Amino acid sequence: MTRPLDGITVISLEHAVAAPFATRQLADLGARVIKVERPGSGDFARGYDQRVRGQSSHFTWINRSKESLALDVKQPQAKAALLQLLKTADVLVQNLAPGAAARMGLSYETLKAHNPRLIVCDISGYGADGPYRDKKAYDLLIQSEAGFLSVTGTPETPSKSGISVADIAAGMYAYSCILSALLLRGRTGSGSHIDVSMLEAMGEWMGYPLYYAFDGAPPPPRTGASHASIYPYGPFTAGDGGTVMLGLQNEREWKSFCDQVLQRPEVATDPRFCSNAQRNTHRTELQALILQEFAALTAAQVVERLEAAAIANARVNDMADLWAHPQLKARDRWREVDSPVGRIPALLPPGVNSAFDYRMDAVPAVGQHNAAILAELGWSAEQIAGVSPSPSGGG
């Protein structure tokens, strides 16, 4: 069956998370993604860890369904091969150091003269201009710069996200911007330049706390795993030591919670707790009351009462629980893909489309596709390496 991006070729000078996350999603939709890597070592994310049978967890996650082309683009022959690829490509994605692509002659202005239909997406920490343009940017640094740490953690300790949330945010906006640019090109026939910054991506995601602190108002407090402004909404310990995550959204649910879960209907009309604003103000007292009632119950009994009252709840799962999650299994969300270390499980991308199946191909080794890609261009591996061809022709 036809996938949405079948026939689209993406060239990516990428490393770490943001750009690879964007391009893997393009590959999921059928695009041919040629990942240009350093000869030998490749994308430095390959060396982050060895948790997947000796292969990096980050790299395994965001690099399936790609072709790896190992080029030293500082060498004239390798750069010529890259430019030849870009003359017929649809998209170039890069998250090199600030200004590096332009110094290599890979700016949008230079490339569009040779390929007016090319879409160029530059991903950086702070964007293509402004006083922070050349500032180094890593995920945790952007989390900090964007104020994310100020609203995440406990009252005593700011905490980063447990995942690369700034990289993922930038990758998501790069992905959606590229899709919109392809749609626009379908109407105009022309490519375009996309400038995505991690700071601006996180700024968008920080919209709620920004407006919460509007006109100098106090920002949301750090409340650990509890919601900063809705209560009760967060983890509560039962009498057997188990933890139950629960959340209330409105006054109807609050009354049901008091009636059926706490089995103390009078609490619903207590002046300290009769509105969310009051419950939030008096959360310490309300927490003590809830924990007192839950102390006589097991976690399973608490969940049983919450389900009967139609109150939202969840388990506090770890990674082993997620691997074995019954809902993912029931919806047949797991597949296997090839990799340099053998077959490994992989989650299907979010969203089920009745018209096509996602592409779920192998995670590549460094330079695995050099011979095939260079042959398409009429080059041999020896020519790219700057040495004379072997008698057999090589490649």
Read off the pLDDT band of 386 (50, 70, 90): low
- Per residue in 327-339, pLDDT tens? 999 999 999 999 9
Type and span of the H or E element at 347: strand 344-347
- Per residue in 129-155, pLDDT tens? 999 999 999 999 999 999 999 999 999
Q: What percent of the chain has pLDDT over 90?
A: 92
Q: What percent of the chain has pLDDT over 70?
A: 97
Query: pLDDT value at position 385?
Result: 72
DSSP state of 97: S
Show which residues are catalytic: 227
Q: For all residues of the chain together, what is the average pLDDT?
A: 94
Rounded average pLDDT over 31-56: 96
Radius of gyration of the chain (CA): 26
Query: pLDDT value at position 381?
Result: 82
Read off the pLDDT band of 384 (50, 70, 90): confident
Rounded average pLDDT over 371-395: 68
Read off the pLDDT band of 312 (50, 70, 90): very high
What is the Cα–Cα distance from 200 to 122, expressed in whole angstroms? 13
Q: Roughly what angle, to the nearest 10 degrees, separates helices 370-377 and 76-88?
A: 70
Domain boundaries, the chain: 9-206+326-385, 233-316
Rounded average pLDDT over 11-30: 98
Strands 9-13 and 91-94: parallel
Rounded average pLDDT over 84-103: 94
Query: pLDDT value at position 348?
Result: 97
What CATH code is assigned to 233-316?
Answer: 3.30.1540.10
Question: With 50 as the cut, is the pLDDT of residue 301 above it?
Answer: yes
Domain 9-206+326-385, CATH homologous superfamily name and number: Crotonobetainyl-coa:carnitine coa-transferase; domain 1 (3.40.50.10540)
What is the Cα–Cα distance from 32 to 88, expressed in whole angstroms? 13
What is the Cα–Cα distance from 339 to 54, expressed in whole angstroms? 11
What is the Cα–Cα distance from 36 to 10, expressed in whole angstroms? 11
What is the Cα–Cα distance from 391 to 263, expressed in whole angstroms? 86
DSSP state of 27: H
Alpha-carbon distances, residue 359 vs 33, 349, 362 (angstroms)? 12, 9, 10
